[in-house]
Copies of this chain bind each other. A is one copy, B any other.
Amino acid sequence: MANETTEKPPLILENFLPYRLNKAAEAISQRFASLYREQYGLTRPEWRTLATLGQFGVLTATAIGAHSSMHKTKVSRAVFALEQRYWLRRKRDEADRRIENLELTPAGRKVYADLAKVAHAFEAELLSNLGPRGEKELKAGLAALEAYFR
């Protein structure tokens, strides 16, 4: 008599890092997304575009895409949507007329400033639930991952 009952599945998803990482990221993203969706009706690509511009001031669509790993059509559409609401405007670049220099309008900056606060509050809430230990570990682990990708 042997290993009939001892058959172990070749892969346990709950222990598999890409799976765990993905599930955690997805869960957090959705929670956070519900905030900016409910408060400002923003989609994920729109929020990312807003946040990237808010942080860097003036950028091209391509630069936004490169920084936040979004496809250029996604950025293009998000830019259009934000422009419609007058939260963003395009400025022709005199030196290179293919380029559009994108910038938040005052209204856009206001939304951004508010959402930045929401983001910090969200993060603080999250971290407080991880405890100082969990926070330290998570941040260090992420840093290790990020170093690996570079």
Q: Which one of B28, B130, B148 contacts A130 once the chains associate, using CB atoms below 8 Å?
A: B148
Q: Is the interface of A mostly helix, strand, loop or mixed?
A: helix
The answer to whether B130 touches A10, judged by C-beta atoms less than 8 angstroms apart, is: no
User: Among the listed stretches A73-81, A83-91, A92-100, A131-139, which one makes contact with chain B, having 4 or more residues with CB under 8 Å of it?
Assistant: A131-139
Q: Does A66 contact B (CB under 8 A)?
A: no
Band of interface residues on A: 35 or more
Within 8 A of B (CB), among A94-148: 112-113, 115-117, 119-120, 122-123, 126-127, 129-131, 133-146, 148
Chain A positions within 8 Å of B, measured between CB atoms, are 9-13, 16-18, 20-29, 32, 51-52, 54-56, 67-69, 112-113, 115-117, 119-120, 122-123, 126-127, 129-131, 133-146, 148-149
